[in-house]
Structure 1
Amino acid sequence: MAGYHQNLDQQQAPAFFARGPSPLARLAFFSALSLTLMATDSRLQYLGTAREHLMVVLQPLQFIANAPSMLYDSTNEYFSTHHRLLNENQYLRKQALVQAISLQKMKTLTLENTNLRQLLAANQSLEEYSQLGEILHVGRDPFTKKIVVNRGSNHQVVDGAAVVDAKGIIGQVTRTYPASSEVTLITDKSLTIPIQIERNGLRAIAFGHGRDNTLDLPFLPANVDIKPGDKLVTSGIDGVYPKGLAVATVTDIQTSADSPFARIVCVPTGGIENHKQVLIVSISQPDSVANTSAASQRANNNDIAAKTTKPEASQALAGAAKTPTNKVPANAPVTNTPTAPAVQAAATSAPATSAEATQHKQPAVATEPSTSHKPHAQD
């Protein structure tokens, strides 16, 4: 009986602290809040400035976090074997000779192509602005393929710029920060590239596979003229990637009787595993470079205009000296014409610009109608 009363007292004892909502209610509230903030940010982009400032603050921490791996890489590279370096040096010398021959042939073809374009009055290719960058770190998200480079908006990097290495296309700049940029690799499933088969000129769209480092060429018929080993290059029709850059190599072609389309698998030619240097290429020049070019062009135009005003002023003097006075009929009395003072006045009031010179030339034109009244005077 005493135990029963004790349990009853414990059940009816008031709580000293409020427990608040249940854990399930808290989970639902914070989940709804997170979804609301994500939807608002995706439409209004009000957290962009906060991300930039946060990236600047976290950059030293990222450097400290990457310091052990950088130290390990530097130590491993320092203690590499002498035999491996000799073999690599010999291989690079051979490659340099091959590239030198290819460069000479390319110069000849470029000159020939330029002459053909001039003969056909074709448009010249767009000028490409490029700068060297270095990979800081690779993204840790397994569902996206992204890297971060050490060039940002302070270095005139713009969204949409292509990122390449010595072998081909790596990706595209998708977000810029003041001192760094985020690059989405071509193997990401959200990125597409207009490509062209180097062998036959066939154009298609390459999609990133996402799960592995491969590309797909979907929606091509089973009898398409593509073979394993074909090289894929950029077609340049999108205005983002320069034309003719290597993209990938076809490795496998699978056909099925149940589908009219072939599954074409390609492996990118460029990679980020062997080196850290990349090249950021933009078809359109940044605003600072374009403003500099425009300023130099305006300066050249002003110099040309200043040089052309001097001959116009001398022509104005000559025109004022040669301008005849009003013609007088033959039977009219002869009067002294003050030509010398008129010429002197024209010389003293000679303009420095072509606009004022034309104003002094107008009286010479206006005197012509007075000569057309000569027959009426004689009548």
Structure 2
Amino acid sequence: MEAIFSRGPSLNNRLAIAIVLSIILIVVDNKLDGFQSTRMFLNSLMSPLQYIANLPSLMLNASADQLTSQQQLLEENKRLTRQMLLASEKLQRFDVLSRENEELRELLDAPVSRNMRKIVAELMSVDRNPYSRQIVINKGTLDGVFLSQPLIDDSGIIGQVMEVSTTNSRVLLITDVTHSIPVRSLRNNIRFIATGSGGKNEVFLEHVAHSVDIAVGDVLVSSGLGGVFPAGYPVAKVTYVDKDEGREFARVTAEPLAELDRIKYTLLLELNP
């Protein structure tokens, strides 16, 4: 029994017929554009299959783009964080420099006499001895500093130089127990001696009689006696008065007007000859 598909034209004839039909179809499509609608239909029919075929590639590309974008965002975030930290550090330094500049301006604008030479000094260290109130500044004999030279800040008298070396000096604050300064009341010009208490922000007025007119709130300024501190500079404000008759003298304490616990810059005074 012969196969059904073995009947018909030979293979050579089939090939020739296929070639002729192909040439005819090519000529018709090229010259007459007769298969445009058919081609559009076939393209529309095959487009979903093409999309499905390209879907894995699209998903891989999208994932790669997403990972790239995320990595870029992370790097950008790190870069911005570094920039923010640098800007914050610069801003903090700017704030500190701005405050120091204001302090220096206040020092230079302090009410110093015209014939007074001014030397700006910066705090180097604070004495750790709890029984003394001393500091070290960064000016010495090379800068013209001398023993007993008075110092002030923008609010009042700080103390006087007690030791001098070539590049730095040790200063005795007015609150040290060994320090005394002649003062007078700005309200009535009564004179006193203010002696350090050893505390951070307190001085005593020595040998104040019960009959002396002194009250809380009185401002004490340097009297100029003794030849160390020039006259007229703020020293302290009276904070406590106790006129107990059982004691020989009244107990009077005052708070220094200078910020002795926050010293950064000081001004050394020298009366020119």
Task: State the Cα distance separating 1:80 from its structure 2 match.
Answer: 9.4
Change over 3 Å in CA distance of 1:231–1:284 after alignment to 2: same
Partner residue in 2 for 1:210: 198
**What letter corresponds to residue 78 of structure 1 in structure 2?**
Q
Q: Normalized against structure 1, the TM-score is what?
A: 0.43
Aligned partners of 1:229, 1:173: CA distance in 2, in Å? 29
- Give 1:274 deviation, angstroms: 3.6
Show the counterpart of 1:229: 217
Quick one: which of 54, 70, 78 aligns to 2:92? 78
Q: Deviations over 1:261-313 (max 9, x none)?
A: 1100000000243451110012355xxxxxxxxxxxxxxxxxxxxxxxxxxxx
In structure 2, what residue type is equivalent to 1:130? Answer: K
Residue in structure 2 matched with residue 193 of structure 1 by the alignment: 181
Check conservation: 1:126, 1:284, Cα contact below 8 A: no
In 2, Cα distance between equivalents of 1:244 and 1:159? 21
Taking the aligned partners of 2:198 and 2:116, their CA distance within structure 1 comes to: 29
Q: CA deviation at 1:257?
A: 2.6
Deviation at 1:222, TM superposition (A): 1.4
Q: 1:178 aligns with which of 166, 172, 184?
A: 166
Contact 2:201–2:260, Cα closer than 8 Å, also in 1: no
Q: Is the Cα–Cα contact under 8 Å of residues 200 and 260 in structure 2 kept in the other structure?
A: no
1:170 is aligned with what amino acid?
A: I
Alpha-carbon separation, structure 2, partners of 1:149 and 1:218? 29
Q: Distance in 2 between matches of 1:176 and 1:77?
A: 37
**Residue segments in structure 1 that go unaligned for 5+ positions in a row:** 1-74, 107-124, 286-379
**SS at structure 2 position matched to 1:279:** strand
Q: 1:282 to 1:224 in 2, by over 3 A?
A: same
Bigger strand fraction? 2
Q: Which has the larger Rg?
A: 2
The answer to whether the Cα contact below 8 Å between 1:147 and 1:185 also exists between their aligned partners in 2 is yes
State, as a whole percentage, how many aligned pairs show the same letter: 33
Q: 1:130 deviation in Å?
A: 1.9
- 1:76 Cα deviation from its structure 2 partner: 11
Alignment of 1:214-293 (within 5 A): 214-284=202-272
Q: 1:127 to 1:80 in 2, by over 3 A?
A: closer
Work out the CA distance in 2 between the residues paired with 1:77 and 1:258.
59
Q: State TM-score, norm by structure 2.
A: 0.58
Listed one character per residue, the Cα deviations across residues 201-246 of structure 1 (whole Å, up to 9, x for unaligned) are 0011110011442100121111211110000000002111111000
Comparing both chains, which one has the higher relative contact order based on Cα–Cα distances under 8 Å and sequence gaps of 6 or more? 2
Query: What's 1:377 paired with?
Result: none
Show structure 2 runs of 5+ residues with no match.
Answer: 1-88
Structure with bigger helix share is 1
SS in 2 for 1:78: helix
Judged with a 3 Å threshold, the aligned counterparts in structure 2 of structure 1 residues 77 and 273 are, in CA distance, closer, same or farther, namely farther
Change in CA separation of 1:153 and 1:253 when aligned onto 2, cut-off 3 Å? same
Do the aligned partners of 1:240 and 1:283 also contact (CA within 8 Å) in 2? no
